[in-house]
Structures are given as C-alpha cells and as structure tokens.
A and B are shown apart, each in its own frame.
Chain A
Amino acid sequence: MTKTTNNIKLGLFVTIGTALLILALYLIGSKQHLFNDSVKINAVFKNVDGLRNGNNIRFAGITIGTIEKIDIISDSLVVATLLVDKESVKFIRKTSIADIGSDGLMGNKLINILPGEPGSAQVAENDTIYSLAPVATDAMMRTLSSTNNNVLDITQDLKQITKRINESHALWDLLADTGATQQIRTSIRHLETMTANATTVATDVESMIKDIKNGKGAVGKIVSDEHTAVEFETLLKNLRESSDTAKLALHHMHEFMKDLNITPGPLGVLARDTAMANDMRSMIHNMNSSTATLDENMKALQSNFLFRKYFRKQAKKKAAGN
C-alpha cells in the first residue's frame, strides 16, 4: 500500500516537473515565434549595425517575428532573412522599409518595419524589402556635441539678458506703474480710433479715385475729358506766359528802383532831397491858394456881363444832356 502511494506521489512529482519544463519550453518557443506559421522575407542593408540572429522584428511596435539569419552578399550589401508571422505579413507591403533600431537606449538591436505606400502590393514569400541607413551613433553624438555648445552659448546669453532685465529698475518701475498701463491702454484706444479713421479716409479716397477714373466731378472731368484737358493745358500755358511777363515787368521795376536809389538823377534827388520836398510842399500850398483866388476870379468872370451869355448857354446844354 505504502509502495503504491509512494509511486503515485513520485508519478505526481515527475508529471508536474515535466509539465513545467514543457510549458516553459513552449512559452520560450512561442515568444521566439517557433510554433507559428511564418513567411520568409529578405531585407537588404548596407550595414546591420550589430543585428544578430534571433533579434526581434517589430511592426507598429508589436513583435511580429525574428531574424533567421544574416548573410553578407557583397562588400556593401548584407541580406537579413526575416521570419514574419503569417498573420502579420499581410500588413507588410512591397514598399515597406526595414529600419534598424534598438529596444530602449541600451537594449538589443531590432528591425522596425515601416508601413509602405498604401496602394502597393503585399509582400510574398522570399520578397525583398529595402532599408533605411541605420542612425550612426557617432555622427549623432558629434552633432549633439555641437548642438550642446550652441545651447551653452544661448543659455549664457539668456542668463546675461535675464540678469540685465532683473537689474533694470526702470523696467520694473514701468511694469509696476499702473498709470503707464492706463496710458498705454488709452494710446492703444486712440490708435484704434485713428486706424478706423484712416480706414474711412482710405475708403473715401478709394471711392474718389474711382469717381475720378469714371469721369465724375470736376477733377474727373479734367482728367477724363480731352477738350477740358486741352483747355487746361492752354490755360496753364497762358498762365506760364503771364507769369513770365510779370516776372520781366518786376525785373524792370526792380532795375528802375535800383536806378532810382543809386543814380543822382532828378527823380532820385526828388525822392531824397528834403529841402526840395519842403519847397514843393510850399509850392503846392501856394498853388492851392492861387487856385482859390482863381476860383474867385472865375466866379467874378461869370458874373461879368461880357461872359454871362456864354455861361448860361453851357448850363442849358448840361441840363439837356441829363
């Protein structure tokens, strides 16, 4: 009885152990896509960048296969044979691109298959897809190094700018001044009004120009009517001639005045000699008094019988003329 029980226990022990082993092997195999139906496709690279047999193939981030083998075909050509799950191969097209990447920053290398052009055909067994050149880490690091230097310069400049801004009392006063804000706001409002006015003016000018173009209004007529234009031209011509004549007259006048001023002629003397002016003034005074006397004499003459008849005849003639 004990022997049978022991054998049962032993059987259980062995079964569990073996089952566990088989399960583990199955799980490992299924992770490596050993039990799935797969399709072989080739990917051509110039440089596989450390890719190894058994590395994963991903499409849209999902592992869809593994690399079966990698062969060097020529000095610049390496062909990797990819085992892709039959279920997933329908998403890969003839124009799909194989790109070598890595799982995380330090992880294993893998192939990312990028989807091809939507219209192109699906890959078949033993088809070849092309690849992107792998990202050269050295070149990337070199670029990164120069980028870092630039960033350093920029941050240093920024630091200085920030420091200056921080030290500027005027700027902070301006920022803290609520009155200034109000003024700026008012200015902006004025600017707005001004802009609106400018728009109106521009619209008016535009319509005016349109009117002018269409020959409306006085200016329009001038611009559009040929006859008016000729007249206007003649007018301008006459104006120019008049202006020239006036200019000449003024010139002569100027010359005359100059002569008057400079030359010691009778007119100059007349204009400047104060004694003569006094004489003339007394002469005119005498003439005035003489004229009054003459007037009186004339009135006496009218009353004289010799001439009375003549004056009456003149008065009658004047009355008949009115």
Chain B
Amino acid sequence: MSKQSRRSEFLSEVGNISAFTGKFFREGFKPRYEWSELFRQCYIIGYESFPLVGITAFIMGLVLTVQSRPTLEEFGAASYLPAMVAVSIVREIGPVITALICAGKIGSSIGAELGSMRVTEQIDAMEVSGTNPFKYLVVTRVIACTMMLPILVVLADGIGLYASYIGVNLKGIVSWNLYTTQVFESLTFSDVMPALVKTYFFGFAIGIIGCYKGYFSNKGTEGVGIAANSAVVVSSLMIFVIDLIAVQIADILGLT
C-alpha cells in the first residue's frame, strides 16, 4: 500500500468518523428514545465495568503512594504525600486509567458486538423490520458510555484515594481525618472540574469509535476481530489526544 493511499485512507477514516458523529447528533436527540436499551447498556457499561475499574483504581492508588514516598522522603516532604497523590489521581491518573480500562473492556465489546451483528446481517435485518438500528445500537451505547464513564471515574478516584490512605499508613501513621483534610485542602475546583469534563469526552470517544468500528466492520469473522481490535487501539489513542487538548484548554482558561 503506497503512502498516498494510506494517507487518503486515514483521511477518509477521519471523515467517516466525523460523519458518523454528525449522524449521532442528528439521530440521537430525535424521538423515539430507546430508554430500555439505554438502561441496559448503562448497566453493562457502568455497573459491570465497575469491579474491573475499582480494582485497577485501588491498585493504582496504592502503588502510586508507595512509589512516591521515597522521592518525597528524600526532600523531607513525606507529609505532602496525601496531597500529591490526591492531585495526581484526581487530575490525571483516575480519568486516564479508567478511560483506558473502559476502552479495553467496553470499546472492544461494542466493536465486537456490532461487528458480529454486521457480519451476521442482524443490522440489515433490523432495518428491514423497521427498527432504526443506528438509534437502537449506536445512540444508546454512545450515550451510555458518555454518561457512565464520569461516574466510573468518580468512583475510581474515591477508591484510589482510599487505597492511597492505606498506602500512606503502610509506612507511617496518618489518621483518616488528617488524610481527608490534607486531600481536600490540596484539591480545588480547577483540579476536579476539568478532569470531570474531560471524562465525558473520553466516554463519548470510546462509545463513538467502538460503535463506528463495529457498525462498519467488513464481512467475515476476520472483520469482527479487526473491528474489536481497532476500536480499542483508536479509542485509547483518542483518549490521549483528548487529554492533550483538555490540558491545553484548561491552561488557556487558567484552570491549572
């Protein structure tokens, strides 16, 4: 494949995703709303992802605390550990790690599910039967992802901070009261709000890319695998791109 064809393929992919996103906004807010499917997707994406996200967040909080301690102790600033870990988790680690875990779990499952539906021509069957497959399959999943990811991130932050409390107390004694005081004194709205807002974009990106990859997967079993794989890869990459844009915007708005 020549460089030029690759470039044109990349550009057509970007254009297709943009068109797909545009279609989501056109279709998504028109009745009829698939509430039942939306709740089902919220349950699958939110509730069922929670254990995985929770364990990951717990380990991240603990590990980050334990790893940071020696460096801070070198500066004689071990008492700043809760504050430092809290800011790290809330601003960056919590949203990004949770989004990546969800990209892996949700993005791949959406890509594979829609891909297999495409391959088995269920989507075409839906169209024939009069159900709008875009509304039923894509809009519900994208909205569910967008709504659930921030909640997952908030819970992950909470679990991560609790794990950090345990981590701080592994080699020192800090009361729960002092820990929470230090954590909330170090946090400001400019830490929480940009992080919270960007998780909506992370969720949207995971949903829209997973759906796009699955919805337009090629025929054959190979197509399902490719759809699932590329959904994870592209949505993970998108998370970092959005993170980069988010930090720039936050900086421009003076929220750093």
> Is A bound to B?
yes
Residues of B within 8 A of A25 (CB): 189, 192
Contacts known (A16-B155, A17-B154); A28 close to B188, Cβ less than 8 A: yes
Is A32 in contact with chain B by the CB < 8 A criterion? yes
Flag if A6 contacts B47 (CB, 8 Å): yes
CA distance A14 to B50 in the complex (A): 11
B contact residues vs A (CB 8 Å cutoff): 36, 39-40, 42-43, 46-47, 50, 150-152, 154-155, 157-158, 180, 184-185, 187-189, 192, 196
CA distance A269 to B204 in the complex (A): 159
Residues of B within 8 A of A20 (CB): 154-155, 158
Distance to closest chain A CB from B193 (angstroms): 9
Contacts known (A20-B155, A28-B184); A14 close to B192, Cβ less than 8 A: no
CA distance A18 to B189 in the complex (A): 16
Flag if A18 contacts B46 (CB, 8 Å): no
Residues of A within 8 A of B192 (CB): 24-25, 28
CA distance A27 to B150 in the complex (A): 19
- Interface residues in A9-29 by Cβ distance below 8 A to B read 9-10, 13-14, 16-18, 20-21, 24-25, 27-29
Flag if A28 contacts B40 (CB, 8 Å): no
Flag if A14 contacts B151 (CB, 8 Å): yes
Q: Other than A3-B40, A28-B184, give 20 A-B pairs with Cβ distance below 8 A.
A: A6-B40, A7-B39, A7-B43, A9-B43, A10-B47, A13-B46, A13-B47, A14-B151, A17-B151, A17-B155, A18-B151, A20-B154, A20-B158, A21-B150, A21-B196, A24-B154, A25-B189, A28-B187, A29-B189, A31-B187
Is A220 in contact with chain B by the CB < 8 A criterion? no
Residues of A within 8 A of B152 (CB): 17
Is A54 in contact with chain B by the CB < 8 A criterion? yes
CA distance A70 to B218 in the complex (A): 61
From B155, B184, B188, name the one whose CB has the most chain A CB atoms within 10 angstroms. Answer: B184
Flag if B188 contacts A9 (CB, 8 Å): no
Distance to closest chain A CB from B255 (angstroms): 12
A–B pairs, 27, beta carbons within 8 Å: A6-B39, A6-B40, A6-B43, A6-B47, A9-B43, A9-B47, A10-B46, A13-B47, A13-B50, A14-B42, A14-B46, A17-B152, A20-B154, A20-B155, A20-B158, A21-B150, A21-B151, A24-B154, A24-B187, A24-B192, A25-B189, A27-B180, A27-B184, A28-B189, A32-B188, A32-B189, A54-B188
CA distance A31 to B182 in the complex (A): 10
Closest to A9 in B: B47
Closest to A32 in B: B188
CA distance A16 to B148 in the complex (A): 12
CA distance A24 to B189 in the complex (A): 10
Residues of B within 8 A of A54 (CB): 188
CA distance A222 to B177 in the complex (A): 94
CA distance A7 to B40 in the complex (A): 8
Closest to B153 in A: A17
Residues of A within 8 A of B154 (CB): 17-18, 20-21, 24
From A6, A24, A27, A31, name the one whose CB has the most chain B CB atoms within 10 angstroms. Answer: A24
Residues of B within 8 A of A13 (CB): 46-47, 50, 151
CA distance A14 to B150 in the complex (A): 10
From A16, A17, A54, name the one whose CB has the most chain B CB atoms within 10 angstroms. Answer: A17
Contacts known (A17-B152, A17-B155); A10 close to B188, Cβ less than 8 A: no
Closest to B191 in A: A28
CA distance A54 to B180 in the complex (A): 20
CA distance A21 to B157 in the complex (A): 10
Distance to closest chain B CB from A30 (angstroms): 8
Distance to closest chain B CB from A199 (angstroms): 62
Closest to B152 in A: A17
Closest to A107 in B: B80
Residues of B within 8 A of A28 (CB): 184, 187-189, 192
Flag if B184 contacts A31 (CB, 8 Å): yes
Distance to closest chain A CB from B58 (angstroms): 15
* Complex interface bits, A167-189 against B, C-beta within 8 A gives 1, otherwise 0: 00000000000000000000000
Residues of A within 8 A of B184 (CB): 24, 27-28, 31
Residues of B within 8 A of A14 (CB): 42, 46, 151
Residues of B within 8 A of A32 (CB): 188-189
From B154, B157, B192, B196, name the one whose CB has the most chain A CB atoms within 10 angstroms. Answer: B154
